[in-house]
Amino acid sequence: MSLLDLLFSNLISQGAIGLIDSAGTKRQYGDGSAPVAVARITDKKTERRITLAPDYHLLEAYTDGTLVMEEGSFHDFLDVCCANVADGGFNPLHKAYQAMGRAFLFWQRWNPMHLAQKRVSHHYDLHENLFKLFLDDDLQYSCAYFQNADDSLEQAQAAKKRHIIAKLDIKDGQSVLDIGCGWGGMALQIARTADVKVLGVTLSKEQLEVARRRAAEAGLADRVRFELLDYRKLSQRFDRIVSVGMFEHVGPPHYRQYFRKVRDLLTDDGVALVHSVGEYDYGSSNPWIQRHIFPGSYTPSLGQVLPAVGKAKLWTTDVEVLRVHYAETLKAWRDRFTTRRAEAAALYDERFCRMWEAYLSACEIGFRRMSLMVFQIQLTKHRYALPLTRDYMLETERRLAEK
């Protein structure tokens, strides 16, 4: 029995997949049912690498084209593997290897200003047309909020913005900061909701250009301003601060600095809302995602984040965990990307498409099978900055939906 055969024999107990090794030998693993997917490995080197670190090299091999799908999809193949890992698969030796890899990647979580923009650019400065292939019309590149199972992606992303805006309790005449503003959708929606001034900051030149264009087209450039700027360089104070999908790029060494800066930038009765991907148990950095998709990224647990909030002398006034909403968001993105894959290949190439498929599939499965989730933390400097109950959130959300 080869090491590869030993790995999959021990790993797959529920569901079924097939694997053809580099010698052409086909084996089936699992519960004896028909395999949902069959993959072929093209060379011995890939076999050795998968055996040593399957969580990294399955994604790498598919990207490189050395793991080829013969039946079914890579998503189906990966889903069965991860379902078994979540059920206790992989042996202690592999878990020790994972721990060593995460320790080695600790330096990548250090995100000083001179590295932050370079790392952001790696992903977010990809061409706008790529993201238009699979995102909603507003280019929301973060977890949507599915109030109903049959909501479209557009409906769920609109609901996400309403949900967050309601938690900010925004009033006319206030100033708002959007840290990591993306292509400007949240900032523009806030300005449509209330008579406020909004500053959106990003480290992506591509996103900045799009956001400024959108503000001008919407007739909101007089109230919504976008800048290429690290939030750490800001000094003015704001009544409200929102950050959606940016905290994952802060890194544990900077958590205390981040929340101290949020405190410094808030007015005395200000409110902040941080929306981030997280883990329900321990924070982690997936090495493959770190290398190919989001350099410097880290998904924290609430247990890692909340102590930094306390040390910054901020009140944690509300915490919400979204469990499967991002899985549904990623499924919608993956379906749209698959439908328009040829356009993505024309923008980049086939290898890029396989990498993007691996990325979207791995992330979706991470939220559906593994320990990933999304949390929203509402913060204030003053205990009386918000109403005593959460009723205002529900009332505002309903009012915005009616509009």
Please tell me the predicted confidence (pLDDT) of residue 93: 45
Residues 79 and 127 in one domain: no
Say which CATH number the domain at 397 has: 3.40.50.150
Q: pLDDT at position 297, please?
A: 87
Cα–Cα distance, 98 to 122 (Å, whole number): 25
Same domain, 22 and 151: no
User: Do residues 83 and 147 share a domain?
Assistant: no
> Domain check: are 246 and 133 in the same one?
yes
**pLDDT for the residue 4:** 92
The confidence score (pLDDT) of residue 272 equals 98
Q: What is the pLDDT of residue 124?
A: 75
Structural domain of 176: 111-402
Residues 247 and 343 both lie in one domain: yes
Write out residues in the chain with pLDDT < 70, as ranges. 1, 87-120, 122
Domain count across the chain = 2
> Domain of 64: which CATH number?
3.30.1050
Structure-token match 């981030």, residue found: 276
Residues 141 and 135: beta-carbon distance below 8 Å: yes
- Residue 147 counted as domain residue: yes
Would you name the residues annotated as active-site residues? 363
Q: Are residues 59 and 160 in the same domain?
A: no
Per-residue model confidence (pLDDT) at position 12: 94
Has residue 221 been placed in a domain? yes
Residues 236 and 317 occupy one common structural domain: yes
156 with 75, same domain: the answer is no
The answer to whether residue 101 sits within a structural domain is: no
